[in-house]
Amino acid sequence: MAQMRHYSPVDRLLLQADTALRTLLPFSGQPSRPSPAIVQPEAQLDAEQTQHIAGLMRINHTGEVCAQALYQGQALTAKLPHVREAMEQAADEEIDHLAWCEQRIRQLGSHPSVLNPLFYGLSFGIGAFAGLVSDKVSLGFVAATENQVVKHLDDHLQQIPATDEKSRAILEQMREDEEHHASSAIEAGGLRFPAPIKLGMSLLSKVMTKSTYRM
């Protein structure tokens, strides 16, 4: 039976640096699944619609950058091996979302947010801190964060024109995946956060969405 490789603290830091570069550099993430947008026709959009949809997809792309950083930070400080493995697996699944959003942003003639390095650093720190507190808190933070993402996706799906089937296909698949991540984190023993903490997280997410819509 194959043995699990044990990494030293230095090895893990180097792996984290590699992941950060692959998350932040253009077209570095390699998705394991093809984009749901591939089979959908391109819509006829006017300039205003194109700009608005690009802004929404930029928000979602930054959200995936934050998710990558959050999971990597939690994996670095998780105490139980199975929790670390779960975080790393979730991060791998989020790479699909990251790549899909970037592809769609480029198709719309726009670019990812210039603030992504800042949000990556902040999210990594939050994830690492949550993992240091306890695995239960770390898993609970995943669930609460993914629930926030689902709310954003629902809002964006209402704003995107029905004719833009490419963007809608991406967001609908992302929503399904994020719901699964949230429920899996709770089932694994994650803490259900009280309303005040969820409110604080919601306010922070609004700062991210407002700042990345145009930048």
**Domain-by-domain residue ranges, the chain?**
44-212
Whether residue 146 is annotated as binding a ligand: the answer is yes
Is 94 labeled as ligand-binding? yes
Residue 179 assigned ligand-binding role? no
pTM assigned to the model: 0.82
pLDDT value at position 136?
A: 82
Residue 13 Cα distances to 20, 40, 47, 61, angstroms: 10, 40, 44, 24
178 is in an annotated binding site: yes
User: SS3 letters for the chain?
Assistant: CCCCCCCCHHHHHHHHHHHHHHHHCCCCCCCCCCCHHHHCCCCCCCHHHHHHHHHHHHHHHHHHHHHHHHHHHHHHHCCCHHHHHHHHHHHHHHHHHHHHHHHHHHHCCCCCCCCHHHHHHHHHHHHHHHHHHCHHHHHHHHHHHHHHHHHHHHHHHHHCCCCCHHHHHHHHHHHHHHHHHHHHHHHCCCCCCCHHHHHHHHHHHHHHHHHHCCC
Is it the case that residue 41 has pLDDT exceeding 60?
yes
Share of the chain above pLDDT 70, in %: 80
> What distance in Å separates the CA atoms of residue 159 and residue 156, rounded to the nearest whole number?
5
Task: Indicate if the pLDDT at residue 56 is higher than 90.
Answer: yes
Q: What is the pLDDT of residues 130-157, one digit of tens each?
A: 778 887 887 888 888 888 889 889 999 9
pLDDT at 163 over 80: yes
Q: Which residue has the higher pLDDT, 12 or 101?
A: 101
State residue 4's pLDDT score: 43
> Is the C-alpha dihedral spanning 147, 43, 31, 57 positive or negative?
negative
Who has greater pLDDT, 102 or 5?
102
* pLDDT of the residue at 17: 65
pLDDT at 6: 61
Instruction: Answer whether residue 76 shows pLDDT above 60.
Output: yes
44-212: CATH superfamily = Ferritin, core subunit, four-helix bundle (1.20.1260.10)
User: Looking at residue 123, what is its pLDDT?
Assistant: 86
Q: Using an 8 Å Cβ cutoff, are 142 and 62 in contact? A: no
